[in-house]
Structure 1
Amino acid sequence: MKYEVFACKHKAQVGQRPVRVGEAIMTCRKFKSLVIILIATFSCTIHICAQPQSAKQTYNFTRALEEVKKGNKSEAMDFLTKEIAENPGNGYAHMTIAILQADAEDYGDAMKSVNMAIKKLPKKDKEYMARAFASRAHLYTIAGDTIQALNDFNQAIKINPDDADILETYGQLLYEMKRYSDANEIYNRMVAANPTSVMGYMGLGRNAYASGNYDEAIRQYNIVIKMYDDYSSGYSFRAESYLKQGKYLEAVDDIMKSLSLDNDAKAHHYLFEFPDNQLTLVISKLRGMSVKNPHDAEWQYYIAQLYQSKKKYNEAIEAARKAFDIDAHPVFLEMIADCQQELGEYAQALEAITQAQQMRPDDLDLISSKADILGESGDIEGAITEWTRYIDKTPDFFGGYYRRGFFEDNSGQTDNALEDYDMAIMLNPDYAYSYLGKGDMLMRNGQTDEAMAAYRKVIELDTVPNNSSCAMYAFLALGEKDKAVDFMEKVIANDSTDCGNYYDGSCFYSRLGDLDKSLTHLRTAFEKGFRRFHHVMSDDDLEALRATDGFKSLMDEYTAIKEREASVEPKTDLTSERVEIPFTPDGGCVSVKCSINELPLSFIFDTGASIVSLSQVEANFMLKNGYLKLEDFVGSGRIVDANGDISEGTIVNLRDVDFGGLKLNNVRASVVRNQKAPLLLGQSVLGRLGSIEIDNPGKKLIITHSK
């Protein structure tokens, strides 16, 4: 079967950015989810770090607020407990306790505390009383009691009708309840009170979009953009409406603008929502942004992600390599490895993931990726070893045990697999695949009754056919053929574009004995881009199909196709070169001579640094003597002050880095404030070199790299 890569894997999936992930939410000037907003409202809008003027100036309460400001929540709670013991009528203390309890997701006690705050707060303090009611409304929302939440919001507005934060969150609740006309009343009220209210206009635009009135939505977003042309969400939300209207050029331009401002998450999401016939348009726009911003790797990464989502793996690899050349980050190597794995190019995938691991040897995602590559390439013991390493680092996560159990299962290690499946179930009793694996192992051991119970558990958990379903196999094992076939077909119908679903279908019908249908589904899987041929040749589900002439003919056909795909861009034969570079011990560190933009310097070899860093003294010297140019600065922030000095945190592009005869172009470096800080050579250089060894007795670096 198509093995399940557990959904709880740590890394971002296709269509997600490496840092900010998922659908856009609007924080500060952006919409926020009501579950998250509780803490934000307490800590930001109630000014937790500032003592209310009307609050009693007691020692314990003052100290509590100081500790909260420092982030010492436990100490703050200790002072608040003492405060309540001495001054039980301090409503502000009760409110602060509610904040800390909500922050710990102790919503029941937070509700008790906010109720006490409402009783004890001075009625004349309208601001705090209103926000106490609004905070309780959030707690009711979390509890699913929208009626009480609405009542509290109405009470809050009655007490303080002009509080923009309360109006905004009240409008959010009405929006989530699909009461768009009522939400519009709130947002119009915000705009009337403040004609420059971004959230008011954005709320009106979002409600118009939800109601299908895309022209009106665009009109509202236009107002926002006219007032604040650097507000990324105005563009990303407007792009959403343009997409609905089929105005793809306008939509893609807005997405490029939004991404260029702050890598807006919503804009990133909508990169993947264009129809297939608009792929060329989107790619061309991204390439244009890459040309305009040659030192920003993200544009090539977006291209790689987009190609990967369309299963154009060779194109994705090319773009990811370009991103890595700009910024040597292991996430780009991981993407290259993922794509090469999809193409069945396991040796190249293993090389890429190993290089990434040299940069981040303890990264869990890289360990799991390497394990799966090894397993798919046929090195089952290697896969088990890597999953064991993964488990050692995160023993409380079920996924490591499930994946190790899967490979033990496929190598005949029945007892070990059964033990791992049981551990996965103990850590996560809701994961259906673990029960399926357990059922198969129990059947192998002749424990039929226990196996049937495991299969029934699969069916209990996996009720909605989707890309991650496995209930069809459980139905089949239970002898319920009709239900099994019906479920399998629903999985395929749920997403008929997914090649993995057709591969699952091939495995399923092979198990069932319908080899003609199994072959048809396997062909469709190949047509849709499935290229994991080694898995096809070793999957025990396809054992019956592999014995047929039709299977052999199909494999010959698609092996030839795969070879043609791989030769679309001729690969340059790479050879390894071993370079030895002398170093000088420097206070426990390693110092190596180099030149940067033809300026002779020495750097400290630092495998723990992420990028190259240099002091302001070095950077200012390079700028004032022509070794750095203004076009070498990355980003649009203020980089040079009134004295002509480079600001701390500025990112510069080093055009040429040369040491020991190794030459690299376009290396990023960060300027640090410490005037005596040495030049540190970090992973943005080291990751592009290959394997690095330190020969301390010989006082030399040994670098093995491809050329």
Structure 2
Amino acid sequence: MNIRSITLSLLISVAAISASAQSYDDPMSQALMKAFDELLDEDPRDPETLVRRAGLYYAHQDYIKALDDINTAMKYYAPDDDESRYPAYQLRAKIYQRQKKYEDALADLNTVLKMSPQDYGTIYQRANVLYELGRYPEANADYYLMLRLNPRSQDALLGQAKVAVKQNNLGTANDLADRAVAMTPNNSEIFIGRAAVRDLMGNRQGAVEDYISAISVDNESTARALSHLVAMSRTDYPTVMAGLSSAISKAPRTGMFYFIRAMIAQGHCNYLAAIADYDKIINENLDSYPGLNGALAECYYYLGRYDRALLNADYAISATDENAFYYVLKSRIERAMGDNQAALDAADKAIEKSPESIDALEAKALAEIALGQPAGASIALSEAAMVNPENPYIQILRGWVLGDFRKQAANSERAYEMVLDMDFDFDNVQSLRGFALLSLDRREQADNWMERILDTADDFDGMVNYYAACYYSQTGMTERALRCMETSLEKGYANYHNWTKASEANINCAPLRSNPEFTRLLDKYSHLFK
């Protein structure tokens, strides 16, 4: 697999995750939904159509509507006709399982298995539900039943391995997982399954090796394996990077491994390491793809090396027609360099290519503000908010533009209030809740939010303490802000642009920049940037 296909698989998987939840934009889903609606207009009591529509809702992760259709269908089946209800019970159990309502799922699965005691898929589903309920002996019994029905069931072996881990039989768990892999060692999915067992055992190095094997074996599970590696890097960055370095030492001409390592390093603000790997791929002709130059442009931008960033962005733009985001990058770079008209021109080109791009609309708005055109900025941000009403940063920017530049205090407050209404975990710093509260003069609540995040969040790369430095600098708590800044730098937060240049809304550390301690800290940690 080359780097382009890796990147595409990542984009496809991310798009699927974001679009599948309650989105029916694809033509097939629209056609099916229209057909179901028409049938139900003719006969709203048709249980089979209700169940089929519930299946479409389920496929799009719209579990509340799916469950409502299933429960409605159940009322319209003939009394005591459990056989007709069979598919409804199966689907409802899946919905309950997704909602983590395991007891409800178990009840429906037991009903299905009374009608069809050897339904392999339902036995597997019940085993997994029993496992989630902590009823490990019963789960194991179902996994054994699966093996009697299919002696080569890898799902059953991996299920037994997970049970063995929970029962502290680690040697047995390891043997069972290895047996599962030995059956189909050229199938990527089985390595992902064993990685889950190894991670459960605390063998994170083995899990990383399995995810890398999954990527190497075939293309089928690349996106999933990469997403697991990225998630694991948030809690155990050194182990993930060590595993990738080991893979590189065994296959030093495989550009894919350098790309993955660079991508994860970049995600952790380790831009110098990411640049080294991207350059390795390009300079040694391990692969060729405009996205490499796009990634370099982004890294150099964050390091404040805008000339190099612009060169790479321009190359990426010229190398492909699929360049909307590269124009966004160019816009950000041009604005950082002070050429605000060029920034606006680049943002407009990005919007031409991708009219609903949040990044492009944000870039346009910020360029308009820099040019003294707040009305245009307000329009662009309103369009972005319509595309994604649950984006807190866009609403913060809207509140800032409406309040500071357009003097529309009531509209500004409504934008900040929208941030408070969004469904984020309280300890998610990227909810920006405290910054919205601060703009609404609700200081005590804002302080409580920031303090709780610092007490509870896992700041694996310094980003949380960067936001804390911004927050406390905005509140005038300079000493606290500088302490958070040092903690952030200690953890490796190497976004030099954010430290020295970012000035949007109240999410920046601009008030610190005239303080000698700010300069001293940047000098002390200059190895992160140079």
Q: Shorter-chain TM-score: which interval?
A: 0.7 to 0.9
8 A contact 1:16–1:268 mirrored in 2:
no
Quickly say closer, same or farther: Cα 1:223–1:551, change in 2 above 3 A. Answer: closer
Q: CA deviation at 1:16?
A: 11
Instruction: Tell me if structure 1 keeps the 8 A contact 2:162–2:197.
Output: no
Alignment partners' CA distance in 2, 1:436 and 1:138:
38
More off after superposition, 111-120 vs 432-441: 111-120
Q: Distance in 1 between matches of 2:485 and 2:142?
A: 55
- Counterpart in 1 of 2:154? 198
Residues 1:536 and 2:494 are matched in the alignment: no
Asked whether 1:545 is paired with 2:512, we answer yes
Q: Which amino acid aligns with 1:472?
A: G
Is contact 2:158–2:197 with CA below 8 Å preserved after alignment? no
Matched, 1:138 2:94: yes
**Aligned-residue offset at 1:162:** 1.6
Structure 2 CA distance, aligned partners of 1:525 and 1:335?
A: 23
**Structure 1 residue identity aligned to 2:412:** A
Which has the higher mean CA deviation after the structures are superposed, 157-166 or 418-427?
418-427
Show the 5 A alignment for 1:235-384.
235-243=191-199, 245=201, 247=203, 250-262=206-218, 264-265=221-222, 267-269=225-227, 271=229, 273=232, 275=236, 278=239, 281-291=242-252, 294=253, 296-324=254-282, 325-384=285-344
> Which residue of structure 2 lines up, in the alignment, with residue 488 of structure 1?
450
Q: Distance in 2 between matches of 1:452 and 1:97?
A: 40
Distance of aligned partners of 1:309 and 1:216 in 2 relative to their CA distance in 1, 3 Å threshold? farther
Asked if residue 522 in structure 1 is aligned to residue 482 in structure 2, the reply is no
Deviation at 1:146, TM superposition (A): 5.6
Q: Shift of residue 77 of structure 1? A: 9.0
| Counterpart check, 1:466 vs 2:428 | yes
Tell me the residue number matched to 1:698.
none
Q: What displacement does 1:521 show?
A: 3.5
Distance in structure 2 (CA, Å) of the matches to 1:380 and 1:499 = 30
Identity over aligned pairs, percent: 22
The whole-number CA distance in structure 1 between the counterparts of 2:242 and 2:395 is: 45
Which protein shows a greater Rg? 1
What is the alpha-carbon distance in structure 1 between the residues aligned to residue 212 and residue 443 of structure 2? Answer: 51
Q: Which amino acid aligns with 2:274?
A: A
Instruction: Give the conservation status (yes or no) of the 8 Å contact 1:221–1:234.
Output: no
* Selected match of 1:476 from 438, 442, 447: 438
Paired residue type of 2:312: A
State the alpha-carbon separation in 1 of the partners of residues 215 and 431 from structure 2.
Answer: 35
CA distance in 1, matches of 2:57, 2:238: 51
Q: Which runs of 5+ in 1 are unaligned?
A: 1-11, 26-34, 37-70, 567-707
Residue-by-residue CA offset, 1:433-489 (whole Å, 9 max, x unaligned): 333223323332444444344434433436613231322223333333333333223
Letter in 2 for 1:320: Y
Q: Alignment partner for residue 451 of structure 1, among 391, 403, 412? A: 412
TM-score (norm 1): 0.59
* Residues 15, 269 of structure 1: 8 Å contact kept: no
TM-score norm. by structure 2 comes to: 0.75
Counterparts of 2:446 and 2:54, CA distance in 1: 51
> 2:396 aligned with 1:436, yes or no?
yes
Q: Which residue is equivalent to 2:10?
A: 18
Structure 2 residue ranges without an equivalent (≥5): 22-27
Question: 1:162 aligned to 107, 111, 118, which one?
Answer: 118
Q: Is the 8 A contact 1:334 1:356 kept in 2?
A: yes
* Residue equivalent to 1:596: none
Q: Match for residue 415 of structure 1?
A: 375
Task: For 1:74 and 1:17, locate their aligned partners in 2 and report how far apart those are by CA, in whole Å.
Answer: 26
1:190 to partner: Cα distance:
0.8
Superposed CA deviations along residues 29-82 of structure 1, whole A, max 9, x for unmatched, are: xxxxxx99xxxxxxxxxxxxxxxxxxxxxxxxxxxxxxxxxx899599979999
Q: Is this contact kept in 2: 1:343–1:531, CA < 8 A?
A: yes
Paired with 1:137 and 1:279, the residues of 2 have a C-alpha distance of 36
- Among 457, 471, 478, the alignment partner of 1:508 is 471
Alpha-carbon distance between aligned partners in 2 of 1:207 and 1:133, rounded to the nearest angstrom: 26
Distance across 2 between alignment mates of 1:93 and 1:482: 53
Equivalent pair of 2:271/2:494 in contact (CA under 8 Å): no
Deviation at 1:191, TM superposition (A): 1.2
Matches of 1:551 and 1:79 in 2, distance apart?
62
Q: Which residue identity lines up with residue 301 of structure 1 in the other structure?
A: F
**What is aligned with 2:25?**
none
**Contact 2:331-2:363 within 8 A present in 1 as well:** no
The answer (yes or no) to whether the contact 1:138–1:149 under 8 Å persists in 2 is: yes
**Which structure has greater strand proportion?**
1
Partner of 1:229: helix, strand, or coil? coil
- How many residues are paired up? 497
Tell me the CA shift for residue 498 of structure 1: 3.4
CA distance in 2, matches of 1:531, 1:97: 47
2:116 counterpart of 1:153: no
CA RMSD of aligned residues (A): 4.6
Checking the alignment, whether the CA contact within 8 Å between 1:459 and 1:474 is kept in structure 2 is: yes
Deviation, structure 1 residue 356: 2.4
AA aligned opposite 1:201: L
Give 1:535 shift. Answer: 6.0
Deviations 1:394-420 (A, max 9, x none): 444555434433443455433333333
In structure 1, C-alpha distance between the alignment counterparts of 2:403 and 2:130, rounded to whole Å: 53
Distance in 2 of aligned mates of 1:93 and 1:544: 61
Q: Does residue 1:499 correspond to 2:459, yes or no?
A: no
Cα separation, 2, equivalents of 1:194 and 1:470: 51
Quote how far apart the aligned CAs of 1:197 are. 1.5
Take 1:114 and 1:363, find their aligned partners in 2: how far apart are those partners?
48
Please state how far the C-alpha of 1:96 moved relative to its aligned partner: 7.0
Structure 1 position 328, deviation (Å): 1.4
Q: 1:538 and 1:209 mapped to 2: Cα distance?
A: 48
Amino acid at match of 2:512: L
State the secondary structure of the residue aligned to 1:468.
Answer: helix
